[in-house]
Chain A
Amino acid sequence: MTDVGARSVLLVRQQGQFVTVQDYGRMGWKRFGVPRSGAMDLLSLAVANVLVGNSLHAPALEFMFVGGEYELLAEGGRRVAVTGGSFPVFQNGKRVSAYRSIQLSRGDILRIGAAPDAVWGYLAINGSFAMPRELGSASTNVASGIGGLDGCALRAGDAVPLGTSVLDAGQPNVEQTFYAPQRPKSLLVRVVLGPQDNYFDPKSLDVLLSEPFTITHHIDRMGYNLLGPKLVHARGPDLISDGVVPGSIQVPGSGQLIALFADCQPTGGYPKVATVLSADIGRLAQSRPGSTVRFYSVTIEEAYEARLSFLRRFEQLYHQITTVSQDYVQQPQLV
């Protein structure tokens, strides 16, 4: 149990499932075997940050399925928000809303349950967290012990140090709300074929692009195991290890697909039949076990248009916030 003292902290009373500090990710270290890490659903992270007045990609807590319970120990209170899906959120036992900024006072207890329409949730807090950046980022990679709180997932009793509040204490509360995304039970995911699509027989590519694949329960921040018709290797399942990216769909000897995500190792030795568009990675990550996905092949040019659209969505977030309270209007700080 950490001695909290006079610092502002968020105290973990009950651990959620795999809760880690994540921001936009860690760039520039893949050549040393360090994954990018960062939020599984970058857009939901950004929405949470905007709702509390942080910069878009500031560190927040990411949790898997269940958020856990927290106590705010900070003078003057803090604004928080939960995004990612329709998570049930309780402030001192009273039901409040995800996708809405919540004003917590010192000593308030926040509890976050499980959502029916998401895997990953985000808890952002005004002022973000004060932990040092490691290799340029606060993102946690548990396998390598880098980032976050001592490179670990959060446990009950952890006190997560808060950064300085970016709003003065005493300003009237501005409630801001957003709209939770629609999540279909069967998701269409866009891919660019390759880089090793030529390792598979052509019938297998047809299978990839026409059959549904089911998300299994074997999912984590490194990758998701999918279940579906087998793909057939034309040249054997081994490959001299080369670079992989989040979004890569690799196919080991089993012929089953593994979709790689934020914590995937930067290199791998299985052929990669296709790569999910950066714009669709977050949506795929939010597909719950048991749901199905279908892959749809696009050209590089179409993929570029999708990315530009995706980047624009981040820019538009500030304009999409609906201010509920009319007493005081303040634009969130762009840091």
Chain B
Amino acid sequence: MPTAPPNRLDFPRFLPVGDTGLLVEFGDAISLSLNMAVVELDRSLAKARLPGLVESVPTYRSLLIEYEPALIRLPKLIERIKLLLRASKPRSHGADRQLLVPVAYDEGSDEDLATASGLLGLKPDAVISAHVAAHYRVYMIGFMPGFAYLGGLPPELHLPRRNVVRSGAPEGSIMIGGIQAAIAARPLRTGWYVIGRTPVRGFDKTRAEPFLFRAGDNVRFRQIDDKEFERLVAKAAEGSLVIEVVE
């Protein structure tokens, strides 16, 4: 018999994950307010520096916390988290960053932009315009190092992911699938549609901060041409490509 859908009042929920994990769930949907709560708690925990906290992982609507039971146990950890939640004011730990990401559309796409456009009943230029016009938020980084899941894809660009996965999507792939958008930091096989490519490196292990995108970042895209793409790729390779970030 299916269980009843969770009631709003049931949240936040505190679910043990084995003997070293705690999942704090804020809801059961992909929504801006739920993700803001996740990112807010993540930032609060970082500031609180609880002894025994190993790390935390923000995802769409929950925060996974890894802890060391030799130093802190669930009842105390949950109590401290509840205190942080009660004390928290919106955006009290800093505003979200605004990132402007250059994209060469149809670069690396290997027919995906044309295919997606056809399925959407739009000309490729209209797909590009809609993609560029939107405001996105990084909901989480997961699946692969530096892979950024974005919310905010306009409804006219929603289309089901493919059944057959394509290989050879390059690093920097700008992708759409389902109701989501994404930026890939490494080459991958995917069922999403690759509509363009950014020269910006989402993951560069030689950089002081190896990962560019974080949960809570606001992202917008700007269109560049092939020549500009090549120029920026060369800059990224020598470590001198700077992306516009507004804190």
The answer on a CB contact under 8 Å between A308 and B69 is yes
Alpha-carbon distance A284/B227, docked complex (angstroms): 53
Which residues of chain A are near B19, meaning CB under 8 Å? 192, 275, 277-279, 300, 303-304, 306-307
Q: Are B140 and A267 in contact (CB under 8 A)?
A: yes
- Within the complex, which residue of A241, A272, A277 is in contact with B59, where a contact is CB–CB below 8 Å? A241
Partner of B56, one of A31, A277, A304: A31
- Measured CB to CB, the closest approach of chain A to B167, in angstroms, equals 14
Residues of B within 8 A of A144 (CB): 144-145, 186, 203
Query: Is there contact, CB below 8 Å, between B60 and A240?
Result: yes
Taking a contact as CB atoms closer than 8 A, the residue among B3, B55, B205 that contacts A27 in the complex is B55
Across-interface contacts of A267 in B (CB, < 8 A): 57, 59, 140, 142-143
A135 surroundings in chain B (CB, below 8 A): 205, 210
Cβ contact within 8 Å between B143 and A265: yes
Least CB separation from A274: chain B residue: B18
Is A169 part of the binding interface, using a Cβ–Cβ cutoff of 8 Å? no
Q: Is the CB of A243 within 8 A of B2?
A: no
Interface residue stretch chosen among B23-31, B110-118, B122-130: B23-31
Decide if B20 is an interface residue (CB 8 Å cutoff): yes
**Shortest Cβ gap from B109 to chain A (Å):** 23
Within the complex, the shortest CB–CB distance from A276 to chain B, in Å, comes to 7
Q: Total A-B residue pairs with C-beta atoms closer than 8 Å?
A: 142
Contact string against B for A residues 17-40, beta-carbon threshold 8 Å, 1 for contact and 0 otherwise: 000000000011111111000000
Interface centre among A32, A198, A275 (most CB of B within 10 A): A32
A33 x B144 contact (CB < 8 A): yes
Q: Quick one: CB contact mask for A234-255 with B, threshold 8 Å, 1 for yes? A: 1100001111110110000000
Partner of A240, one of B15, B56, B61, B214: B61
Main secondary structure of the interface of B (DSSP, over half): loop
Q: How far is the CA of A242 from the CA of B23 in the complex (A)?
A: 9
Within 8 A of B (CB), among A118-147: 134-135, 143-146
* Interface presence of A84 (CB below 8 A): no
Chain A contacts with B in 209-249, Cβ cutoff 8 A: 234-235, 240-245, 247-248
A311 within 8 A of partner (CB): yes
Question: Which residues of B sit under 8 angstroms from A279, Cβ to Cβ?
Answer: 19
B97 smallest CB distance to A (angstroms):
15
Is B246 interfacial (CB-CB < 8 Å)? Answer: no
Complex CA distance for A103 and B42, rounded to whole angstroms:
49
B157 at interface by CB-CB < 8 Å: no
Report how far A234 CA is from B23 CA in the complex, Å: 21
The reply to whether A195 and B210 contact each other, CB–CB distance below 8 Å, is: no
Chain A residue with Cβ nearest B142: A267
A271 to chain B, nearest CB (A): 12
**Nearest B residue (CB) for A311:** B70
User: Shortest CB–CB separation between residue B18 and chain A, in angstroms?
Assistant: 3
B202-239: which have CB < 8 Å to A? 203, 205, 210-211, 214-215
If A31-B56, A31-B141, A245-B66 are given as contacts, then 18 extra A-B residue pairs at C-beta distance below 8 Å, sorted by A number, are A31-B57, A31-B215, A32-B145, A33-B144, A33-B145, A144-B144, A144-B186, A192-B18, A195-B16, A234-B3, A240-B30, A243-B59, A245-B20, A267-B59, A267-B142, A278-B20, A303-B18, A306-B19
Q: List 13 A-B contacts (CB under 8 A).
A: A30-B55, A30-B66, A33-B145, A144-B145, A192-B18, A195-B17, A242-B59, A243-B17, A266-B57, A266-B142, A275-B19, A300-B74, A307-B19
B-to-A contact residues, CB < 8 Å: 1-3, 15-21, 23, 25, 28-30, 42, 54-64, 66, 69-70, 73-74, 140-147, 149, 186, 203, 205, 210-211, 214-215
Q: Which residues of A contact B (CB under 8 A)?
A: 27-34, 134-135, 143-146, 191-192, 194-195, 198-199, 201, 234-235, 240-245, 247-248, 265-267, 272, 275-279, 300, 303-304, 306-308, 311
